[in-house]
Amino acid sequence: MFVGPELDRLIALLAKLPGLGPRSARRAALALIQKREALLQPLAAALEAAAAAIRPCSVCGNLDSTDPCGTCADDRRDRSVICVVESVGDLWALERAGAHRGLYHVLGGTLSAIGGRGPEDLTIQQLLRRVAGGGVSEVILALGATVDGQATAHLVADRLRPLGVAVTRLAHGVPVGGELGYLDDGTLAAALKARRPA
């Protein structure tokens, strides 16, 4: 410790952010101190404002300053389709893509034998209640193409089946802009199997 304890503490906290290591945390702390009016004070205020305002949506689990969240409250969205995602980050990614015009449901993770997460740690019961409440015709399982993600998708699909709702999953295939030579065998096989008329 050769700078004050205030700076050491700031660097230690910045280093906990995803994407920032100890070295980039020091660079960030330096930039913050050197741009006090333009960056540090607004960021401190924005953190306070976000902490005070942002809450999980009691319907879908999204994070927003209103409850229900902006997505759930939006009248222009198709309320008959619910897209199930692992995390709020995945929800945001789909929203940025602008590909889904229905509602969402955040599971809060996947089943994980290693992580010790079972069905009761996910918001599966809440999803079943939403679907049982009526008005839903399709549930899209937008879970990761990992072992845990697919195990979770199987379980959720099984639980949804008695409710008589259509359950779909995302297509596997060649990523847009991707080159075949860099793709793994599983993706290539899936893309070939799911081929469509040109």
Q: How far is the CB of 82 from a second copy (least distance, A)?
A: 17
Closest by CA position to 100, among listed 71, 127, 73: 71
Please tell me whether residue 151 binds a second copy under the rule CB under 8 A. no
Say if residues 99 and 92 touch (Cβ distance below 8 Å): no
Residue 32 interacting with a second copy (CB under 8 A)? yes
- CB under 8 A: which stretch of 68-76, 110-118, 120-128, 183-191 binds a second copy? 68-76
**Cβ atoms of residues 37 and 45 within 8 Å:** no
Minimum CB–partner distance for residue 149 and a second copy (Å): 18
Q: Which residues of 29-51 are buried (b: 16+ CB within 10 A; e: fewer)?
A: beebeeeeeeebeeeeeeeeeee
Counting residues that bind a second copy (by CB under 8 A) gives 53
Is residue 33 close enough to count as binding a second copy by CB under 8 A?
yes
Q: Decide: residue 111, CB within 10 A, 0-12 exposed, 13-18 middle, 19+ buried.
A: buried
Q: Which positions from 72 through 111 interact with a second copy, judged by CB under 8 A?
A: 88-89, 92, 95
- Minimum distance of a second copy from residue 52's CB (angstroms): 8
Four-CA torsion 158, 108, 141, 160, nearest 10 degrees: 30
Selection from 30, 148, 16, 156 nearest residue 84 by Cα: 156
Which amino acid, one-letter code, is at 103?
A: L
Among 40, 157, 174, 183, binds a second copy (CB under 8 A): 40
Per CB under 8 A, which of residues 2..31 are in contact with a second copy? 2-7, 9-10, 13-14, 16-20, 24, 26-31
Alpha-carbon distance of 41 to 175, in angstroms, equals 41
Shortest approach of a second copy to residue 29 CB, angstroms?
7
Q: Which of 108, 9, 124 is nearest to 62 (CA)?
A: 108
CB of 33 or CB of 174, closer to a second copy:
33
Site for a second copy in 45-64 (CB under 8 A): 46-54, 62-64
Q: Cβ 184 to a second copy, closest distance in Å?
A: 23
Point out which residues bind a second copy (CB under 8 A): 2-7, 9-10, 13-14, 16-20, 24, 26-34, 36, 39-44, 46-54, 62-66, 69-71, 88-89, 92, 95
